[in-house]
A and B are shown apart, each in its own frame.
Chain A
Amino acid sequence: LAKTTQPISMDSYEGQEVNITCSHNNIATNDYITWYQQFPSQGPRFIIQGYKTKVTNEVASLFIPADRKSSTLSLPRVSLSDTAVYYCLVDSNAGNNRKLIWGLGTSLAVNP
């Protein structure tokens, strides 16, 4: 069963690119990787999802190497409003035995 590990915290400055890496060594063939963002007093919000290589949307990119044992969420040109906790999720759907393996979250602080 996959286990997800991510850094507890990161610091950055406005305008920088931020990369947050999640390790999931035992990821299975059918597993997908999803990233969520959470602000205080709110539920998490979906950012991006991928299976392999690179996925890009209007807010982030997700890089997944060929062995899929890690993934990197990339936030381009962060602003103060990107200060939040970011969670990596491995969604393991082996038939009816669905497992959701969440990382403990990375607290990102963006400084002026």
Chain B
Amino acid sequence: DVKVTQSSRYLVKRTGEKVFLECVQDMDHENMFWYRQDPGLGLRLIYFSYDVKMKEKGDIPEGYSVSREKKERFSLILESASTNQTSMYLCASSGSPPPSEQYFGPGTRLTVT
């Protein structure tokens, strides 16, 4: 059974903290994605990666960075968390070539206070 796991389901952080969200997939997929989901705004792509150490900006990369040191792991980093980054964060992976089905993790509900 294919799986995308995210390190936390719920996370509460304070403004200004550095936050790490981890995502691991077990399908040997080349492509990995980070989205945020907010009511009324749907899914918005933050960053994606099509290979180890490769990254591409999505639609809303400001305030975020990513790291992909190993094929199975894709990390989202909030350098200095702010209240407007309170959101649901979803990780996904997909095989190649695109377009191919994205497999999503369960999401991390991040609250920044």
Which residues of A does B touch, CB under 8 Å? 32, 34, 36, 41-46, 49, 87, 91, 93, 98, 100, 102-105
Cβ-defined contact, A104 with B99, below 8 A: no
List which B64-110 residues lie within 8 A (CB) of chain A.
Answer: 90, 92, 97-99, 101-107
Which residues of B does A touch, CB under 8 Å? 4, 33, 40-45, 48, 50, 56, 58, 90, 92, 97-99, 101-107
Q: Which of B43, B101, B103: most chain A CB closer than 10 A?
A: B43
State whether A32 and B106 are in contact (beta carbons under 8 Å apart), knowing that A43-B92, A87-B43 are contacts in the complex: no
State whether A105 and B42 are in contact (beta carbons under 8 Å apart), knowing that A41-B106, A41-B107, A43-B105 are contacts in the complex: yes
Cβ-defined contact, B98 with A44, below 8 A: no
Residues of B within 8 A of A102 (CB): 42-45
Residues of A within 8 A of B99 (CB): 32, 34, 49, 91, 93
Main secondary structure of the interface of A (DSSP, over half): strand
Known: A98-B98, A104-B42. 12 other contacts (CB 8 A): A34-B101, A43-B90, A43-B107, A45-B104, A87-B43, A100-B58, A102-B42, A102-B44, A103-B42, A104-B40, A104-B41, A105-B42
State whether A49 and B101 are in contact (beta carbons under 8 Å apart), knowing that A42-B106, A42-B107, A98-B56 are contacts in the complex: yes
Cβ-defined contact, B98 with A93, below 8 A: yes
Looking at the assembled complex, report how far the CB atom of B84 sits from the nearest CB atom of chain A, in whole angstroms.
19
Residues of B within 8 A of A46 (CB): 101-103
